[in-house]
């Protein structure tokens, strides 16, 4: 009897220990499940960040592709501009040759005229007296007098030619200066466009590098969270297995205790056995898994407004219609007065708006050249900020190669 009593006490102690293990194990599982849930939320948040970064990266890549297209367009513009500048250099060289020839004619005519004038002044009236005294007849005298008159007429004609040559030289010099100013203006606009595009590309590339770094960091963090989730899941399974084994051992101990109590048929032992039997516990094995859219009249208004500023200055990089603007700044500011948004650079204006065939161009359209833009007036004429020498002026629409015509109204 005493031996059975000791056995019963031992079984009760074992059940109490196993129950404590079950309670501690269940608590640990709940804590781990809570941590796992927290880790899963962190992983979901990082995966959302990754999706956002990947979407931003695609958007940025699209912008970089568009910039590449603009760069190709700019390179084409540069090529055409270089060709026109080369042709302009040849024209200038020919003009210099013509200028030297005109100056040589001027010097030659001037020296010949001086010689004749010097001779006529040195001879004075004696030449006329000798004509009368040495003449054999009235006919001879008249012939000699006519000869002197022809010399005077010849000098007068040469003097007029000298004046014409001088004017020709002045015109050639002015033409050279205007052509040089126009080339400098085109070069300046090209450099501004190149700087602007390069700055934009650099900025986008820097942003792309930042996105790549952020994306790499987010993926690394997601990998760490995933590893943490795996570890937590394994730990939960281990604790659940321990809890299962402890529950099984507790059940066996309770059954043994009950059997011992029945065998002893003692009330106290039976109560203890019933308590232990009724106190059987099961571990919490539930795991939360989060599932995862105006016309010709308006164009004429634009042209009339633009023509108000003819004679104002050309200023590289400027956008003021009164204080000075370059070609694209002039176009942008004119359209801005009518509430129409137009890009700042000439290359951007050449791809904006709606493309129009030259045969369908109408007043208010924008004529685009290599590194230059102008507003079409109609009848083959344009108004534009030409160059530092000419300023804002009008001219022929075909003065250079037309690349495209854009409509913003």
Alpha-carbon dihedral angle through residues 131, 136, 139, 142, given to the nearest 10 degrees: 0
CA pair distance 93, 98, nearest whole angstrom: 9
Supply the angle between the helices 267-278 and 138-264 in degrees, to the nearest 10. Answer: 160
CA dist list (Å): 346 to 191, 342, 355, 404, 406? 12, 10, 15, 11, 11
372 is catalytic: yes
Which of 5, 17, 307, 372 is labelled catalytic?
Answer: 372
165, 157 in Cβ contact below 8 A? Answer: no
Which of 17, 307, 327, 368 is labelled catalytic?
Answer: 327
Nearest CA-CA partner of 285 in 237, 235, 333, 222 = 237
Which of 5, 307, 368, 384 is labelled catalytic?
Answer: 384
91, 179 in Cβ contact below 8 A? Answer: yes
402, 367 in Cβ contact below 8 A? Answer: yes
User: In terms of DSSP bridges, do strands 366-369 and 392-396 run parallel, antiparallel, or are they unpaired?
Assistant: unpaired
CA pair distance 53, 66, nearest whole angstrom: 20
327 is catalytic: yes
Residues designated catalytic: 327, 372, 384
């Amino acid at each position: 009897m005493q031996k059975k009593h000791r056995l019963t006490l031992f079984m009760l102690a074992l059940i109490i220990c196993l129950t404590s293990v079950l309670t501690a194990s269940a608590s640990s599982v709940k804590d781990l499940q809570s941590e796992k849930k927290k880790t899963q939320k962190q992983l979901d948040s990082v995966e959302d960040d990754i999706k956002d970064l990947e979407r931003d990266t695609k958007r940025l890549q699209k912008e970089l592709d568009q910039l590449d297209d603009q760069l190709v367009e700019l390179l084409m513009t540069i090529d055409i501009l270089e060709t026109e500048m080369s042709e302009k250099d040849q024209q200038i060289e020919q003009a210099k040759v013509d200028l030297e020839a005109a100056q040589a004619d001027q010097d030659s005519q001037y020296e010949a005229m001086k010689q004749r004038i010097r001779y006529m002044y040195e001879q004075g009236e004696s030449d006329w007296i000798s004509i009368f005294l040495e003449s054999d007849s009235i006919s001879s005298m008249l012939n000699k007098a006519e000869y002197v008159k022809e010399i005077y007429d010849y000098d007068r004609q040469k003097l007029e030619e000298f004046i014409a040559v001088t004017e020709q030289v002045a015109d050639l010099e002015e033409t050279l200066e205007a052509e040089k100013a126009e080339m400098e203006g085109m070069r300046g606009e090209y450099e501004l466009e190149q700087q602007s595009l390069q700055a934009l590309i650099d900025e986008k590339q820097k942003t792309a590098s930042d996105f790549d770094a952020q994306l790499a960091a987010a993926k690394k963090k997601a990998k760490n969270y995933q590893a943490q989730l795996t570890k937590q899941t394994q730990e939960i399974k281990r604790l659940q297995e321990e809890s299962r084994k402890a529950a099984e051992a507790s059940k066996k101990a309770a059954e043994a205790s009950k059997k011992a109590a029945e065998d002893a048929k003692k009330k106290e032992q039976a109560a203890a056995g019933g308590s232990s039997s009724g106190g059987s516990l099961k571990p919490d094995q539930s795991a939360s898994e989060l599932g995862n859219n105006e016309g010709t009249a308006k164009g004429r208004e634009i042209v009339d407004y633009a023509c108000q500023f003819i004679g104002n200055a050309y200023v590289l990089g400027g956008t003021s219609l009164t204080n000075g603007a370059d070609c694209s700044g002039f176009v942008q500011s004119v359209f801005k007065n009518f509430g129409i948004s137009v890009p700042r650079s000439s290359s951007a204006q050449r791809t904006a708006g709606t493309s129009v065939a030259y045969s369908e161009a109408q007043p208010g359209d924008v004529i685009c050249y290599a590194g230059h833009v102008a507003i079409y007036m109609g009848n083959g004429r344009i108004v534009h900020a030409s160059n530092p020498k000419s300023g804002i002026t009008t001219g022929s629409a075909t003065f250079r190669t037309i690349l495209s015509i854009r409509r913003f109204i």
